């Protein structure tokens, strides 16, 4: 089984993702990136950050030890969003970056994401090369050649400056509630939105190492919706644990997901092409077609969206989950940047978020997560393939079906879109039952 998933290495901290593995990964990453020319001829430099999980503390120590022992100077930036690490790698000319986070996953999980020189995520080939080099014999530097460890206390302020520099309008007059998921955005998100001129109410912004994503953030919108309605805010913003995602709710509490945000930005910026994934809602694709904007589809994962954007010169892309990439400002999904640009459109147009979201009509979509199955057998099940083909033939152009094994969690996702929610729900539940039967661990 491959160690790397769709977004780095993840697992239960101290069981799957141990200090020993973290150290070995850091060493292997330093060696691989050096050999492909990503590390400069001078003393290599790395940026290391983390979200607010307690396990990030010992994993950071292991990663820093691994990098420094391999002759890399390490700049520790503490608790910051994942996109901050990508920005800092690019802006400082660092040779690599490491973010310790499991994003929206529960607190016991953690993960390691690597960034190459320039701030981009590693492609599949580089990840495979790192995995292949784990635990290999190597010549260890000594004396002056070992890496040094520096605490970078100005990193947060430089990231905030970067975010604010993306704005061309003041956000005064906008009242926003931000749910920080008790994660990496807990300090920086309320600060940057307030500096941008918005009136800010922050919730779930008291991380204690144990409460990240706990009934809050982008996977639990109930508290955000309640606070938006209670306070009479213009909108709510929900981040995930590492703040590379942004979901929104309007003043009435209606969900404005990544597809809506992408559609709003695409129309406002008058782009020619927008990049999405196989999970992008049919309503979005229809709206873009009607607006004369072409759509390009990639596998799930913001790095695949970015690869398409870079290869074809596109500037806007993203995922329904709230990963939005705006290449005019960054080469990775940034939840804070997304929120600022969304509020910027509100300020410029003087329209409410509900009015802006009328740019598209969402097709009813049902997503069922099927757990405790052998997801590796999904591609070889003939019964599942036949069932999908049969349902797709009946749906025609009025819907679609997608089954995929999660790259970050032990489950299979069943997604069905149809003209009515009840029809989508019926098909999704039947397929989920078939997946459970066909992919049972015992079969």
Cα–Cα dist 11/122, whole Å: 19
Q: What is the DSSP letter of 230?
A: H
Q: How far is CA 333 from the centre of its chain?
A: 6
Cα–Cα dist 395/387, whole Å: 12
Ranges assigned E (strand) in 287-363:
294-298, 316-318, 324-326
103 is catalytic: yes
420 phi and psi angles, rounded to 5 deg: -125, 150
Which one of the listed residues 103, 156, 204, 218 is annotated catalytic?
103
Give the alpha-carbon dihedral of 421, 424, 429, 431, to 10 degrees.
Answer: -170
3-state secondary structure at position 419: coil
Give the alpha-carbon dihedral of 229, 211, 248, 276, to 10 degrees.
Answer: -160
Dihedral sign (CA 255, 111, 372, 438): positive
Angstrom CA distances, 373 to 207, 244, 431, stand at 33, 29, 14
Angstrom CA distances, 40 to 245, 277, 414, stand at 31, 34, 44
3-state secondary structure at position 35: helix
Q: Give the residue among 281, 216, 217 at the shortest CA–CA distance from 244.
A: 217
213 phi and psi angles, rounded to 5 deg: 65, 10
Judging by DSSP bridges, how do beta strands 109-116 and 175-179 pair with one another?
unpaired
Give the H or E element holding residue 109.
Answer: strand 109-116
Residues 6+ apart with CB under 8 A from 268: 345, 348, 349
Answer for the pair 316, 325: CB distance below 8 angstroms, yes or no: yes
Helix residue ranges, H only, 196-317: 222-231, 258-269, 282-290, 302-312
DSSP 369-406: EEESB-GGGGGG-HHHHHHHHHHHHHHGGG-EEEEEE-
Q: Give the residue among 223, 249, 243 at the shortest CA–CA distance from 357.
A: 249
List, by residue number, the catalytic residues. 103
């Amino acid at each position: 089984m491959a160690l790397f998933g769709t977004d780095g290495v993840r697992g239960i901290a101290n069981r799957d993702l141990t200090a020993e593995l973290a150290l070995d990964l850091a060493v292997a990453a330093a060696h691989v990136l050096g050999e492909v020319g990503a590390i400069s001829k001078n003393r290599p430099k790395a940026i290391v950050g983390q979200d607010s999980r307690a396990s990030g503390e010992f994993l950071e120590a292991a990663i820093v030890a691994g990098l420094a022992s391999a002759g890399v100077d390490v700049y520790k930036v503490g608790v910051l969003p994942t996109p901050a690490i990508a920005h800092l790698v690019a802006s400082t000319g660092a040779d690599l970056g490491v973010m310790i986070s499991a994003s929206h996953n529960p607190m016991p999980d953690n993960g390691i994401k690597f960034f190459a020189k320039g701030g981009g995520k590693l492609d599949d080939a580089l990840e495979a090369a790192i995995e292949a080099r784990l635990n290999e014999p190597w010549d260890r530097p000594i004396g002056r050649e070992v890496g040094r460890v520096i605490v970078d206390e100005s990193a947060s302020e430089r990231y905030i400056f970067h975010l604010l520099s993306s704005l061309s309008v003041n956000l005064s007059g906008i009242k926003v509630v931000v749910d920080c998921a008790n994660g990496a955005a807990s300090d920086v998100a309320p600060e940057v939105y307030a500096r941008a001129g918005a009136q800010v109410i922050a919730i779930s912004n008291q991380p204690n190492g144990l409460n990240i994503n706990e009934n809050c953030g982008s996977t639990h919108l109930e508290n955000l919706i309640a606070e938006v309605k209670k306070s009479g805010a213009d909108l709510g913003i929900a981040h995930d644990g590492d703040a590379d995602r942004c979901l929104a709710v309007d003043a009435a509490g209606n969900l404005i997901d990544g597809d809506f945000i992408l559609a709003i930005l695409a129309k406002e910026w008058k782009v020619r092409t927008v990049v999405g994934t196989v999970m992008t809602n049919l309503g979005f694709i229809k709206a873009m077609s009607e607006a004369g904007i072409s759509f390009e589809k990639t596998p799930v994962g913001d790095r695949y969206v970015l690869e398409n954007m870079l290869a074809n010169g596109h500037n806007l892309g993203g995922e329904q989950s709230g990963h939005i990439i705006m290449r005019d400002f960054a080469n990775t999904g940034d939840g804070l940047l997304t929120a600022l640009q969304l509020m910027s459109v509100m300020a410029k147009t003087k329209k409410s978020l509900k009015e802006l979201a009328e740019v598209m009509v969402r097709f009813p979509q049902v997503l069922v997560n099927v757990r405790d199955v052998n997801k590796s057998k999904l591609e070889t099940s003939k019964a599942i393939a036949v069932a999908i083909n049969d349902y797709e033939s009946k749906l025609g152009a009025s819907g679609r079906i997608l089954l995929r094994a999660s790259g970050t969690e032990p489950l299979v996702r069943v997604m069905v879109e149809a003209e009515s929610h009840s029809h989508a729900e019926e098909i999704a539940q039947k397929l989920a039952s078939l997946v459970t039967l066909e992919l049972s661990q015992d079969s």
